[in-house]
A and B are shown apart, each in its own frame.
Chain A
Amino acid sequence: MLFDPLVLLFLSSGLFLGWALGANDAANVFGTAVGTKMVSWRSAAIICSLFVVLGAFISGAGTTHTLGKLGAISALPGAFMTALSAACAVFSMTKSGLPVSTSQAIVGAIIGWNFFSHSPTDNAVLTKILSTWVMCPILSGIIAIVLIKIYRFSCQYFTVHMVRSDAYKRIALIVAGGLGAYSLGANNIANVVGVFIPVQPVPSLSFGNITISSTQQLLLLGGFAIALGVFTYSKKVMMTVGNQLGRLSATAALIAVISHSIVLFLFASRGLEAWLSNLGLPTIPLVPVSSSQALVGAIVGISILQGVSGIRWMVLGKIILGWIVTPVVACFICFIGLFFLQNVFGLAVV
């Protein structure tokens, strides 16, 4: 079966969302390291792109499965509009200066599709997703507090020269950044191509004994879109994030990135889910979470240790507002867009 060029057109909205994700969220992973000049932008971009693609390809299926359960979009134009409305919501919210999450936008857009197609929204899945949005920054904050306590405790027993400690931090930032990029790819790839997976728009490819399924191709393509965003537009955002977080010490910044990466990984790891399940313990849901909010959660955790007065309540208020407004806006845009696509262009969206 040959590849239909029209498919690429429909996929473009998802790829655009991927590009925006790469441009913005790579800054959460490497922003502080690049902003403080601990890691050069070039190295950060290469490491970030590589690990994003690996994360998306190897571990991206878990979160996409959850999104598929929330709304199994059955037609390519419907998937196109869902991804496009999420991208438009992200764009408009960014323009309004509100912190935005692609994860929340895509969930809102899927619910919009559910409304339009009169498909029932699985309340259990929706509750699971909503609870992770609250859990994500809280968990990230708790991990940051634990890590900083461990760091301070160990500092009393290990005396390392400042210059050597700087070298260790540099390597740790690269490792944490790599882990963060992998987790970002694994967790957030669902936002980029998740809605296209039930449609299976591309045929499987075979190279001898190796077969790359439609899902794997989409994951890979989404990973490349994120990587492209990292390479073409993330530099400016990284510098901004680095300067915004300038008041944090390199250690605090490193701990924030590690906590963020761990949280993203927890919400994307199928292996961990299986392991917890085998032990009879409650599992961590595989849900795309917001990397920005994970990072902010970690920073708030660190700020709590330094005194509650250091917390910027206005920023926190904006984030909470973003949680509510982003999915609502995406849902609304998707509903209107699907209406036009079906009634004006005569395309089957359901």
Chain B
Amino acid sequence: MAINVRLFQRTKELEGKVDNFFDQLSEAAVIYRLAVRGYLREAISDEFTARLEHVCEIEATADRLRREIELSLYSNMLIPDSRGDVLGLIETADEILSLLKSSLWAFSIETPEIQEDLNAGYRRLTNMVVKAVDELATGCRVFFRSPHLVSSYNAKVTLYEKEADKISYNLKKQIFDTNLDLSVKLHLREFVDRIDAIADQAEDVADRLSIYAIKRQS
């Protein structure tokens, strides 16, 4: 009896940690959008710095959760069947958090000068990327409870990633059609790539998630 109580206690804790990890991912994506919008409005400001720090904190929390989940899975020998899949999922999802953080750090350090007429493009791109991450986080949470429902979330991630690619292509064309110096153009393009890479990573994680979901259903 005592063994069962302990087992369910550990299970409940781990369940909470897994859900919390994906909550952190969703939250970080929302803060990221607010931070980029803030930057587009008034470049580096107190508000932007606060958002950057918030994303860094979330990333640190998610890292801690990832380590605790890994430790719990191996030391308590939980879900031996899907342990590798869960760890793969969490590790690749953690890379999205790193990309969100490094992208904001790049804004903070390199302070790119974004022209007024390019703002809309950056804003749309950021929105699309954040939507992809948000759908992915929901899909990941659903994977742990109803793997047969994962495909609809993954389809949305793929759709948003494709839209993000289109926006990034048009935005790059718009950048290189301006009269700015080549160095500035390259700098601005670099930031388009940085933001777009987040959606690419979200799609990679979604692809993994699809396979894991099929495995769980078989």
Contacts and interface: CB of A to CB of B under 8 A. Distances in A.
Contact of A159 (B8, B18, B78, B145): B145
B81 A159 contact: no
A161 B11 CA distance: 9
Contacts of B71: none
Which residue, of A37, A159, A170, A250, has the highest number of chain B Cβ atoms within 10 A? A170
A163 B218 contact: no
B145 A160 contact: yes
B102 to A, nearest CB: 31
A163 B81 contact: no
Contacts of A163: 11, 14-15, 18, 78-79, 144
Contacts of A159: 145-146
A159 B82 CA distance: 17
A167 B7 contact: yes
A154 interface: no
A161 B15 contact: yes
A13 to B, nearest CB: 39
A249 B145 contact: no
A171 B8 CA distance: 11
A162 interface: yes
Interface of A: 36-38, 156, 159-164, 166-167, 170-171, 249-250, 306
Interface residues of B, number: 22
A161 B79 CA distance: 11
Interface string B70-86: 00000001111110001
Contacts of B14: 163
Given A161-B15, A249-B218, A166 B79 contact: yes
A38 B82 CA distance: 12
B213 to A, nearest CB: 11
B77 A167 contact: no
Interface string B1-37: 0001001100110110010000000000000000000
A164 B14 CA distance: 9
B216 interface: yes
A249 B216 CA distance: 8
Interface string B138-151: 00000111101000
B12 to A, nearest CB: 8
A197 B82 CA distance: 49
22 contacts: A36-B81, A37-B77, A37-B80, A160-B145, A161-B18, A162-B79, A162-B86, A162-B143, A162-B144, A162-B145, A166-B11, A166-B78, A166-B79, A166-B81, A166-B82, A167-B7, A167-B8, A167-B78, A170-B7, A171-B4, A171-B7, A249-B81
A250 B77 CA distance: 14
A156 B146 CA distance: 8
A161 B144 contact: yes
Contacts of B12: 164
A235 B77 CA distance: 18
B93 to A, nearest CB: 15
A167 B86 contact: no
Contacts of A38: 77, 80
A238 to B, nearest CB: 15
Nearest to A37: B80
Contacts of A250: 80-81
Contacts of A161: 15, 18, 144-145
Contacts of B82: 162, 166
Given A162-B216, A167-B7, 9 more contacts: A38-B80, A161-B144, A161-B145, A162-B82, A162-B143, A162-B144, A163-B14, A167-B8, A249-B81
Contacts of B79: 162-163, 166
A42 to B, nearest CB: 13
Contacts of B146: 159
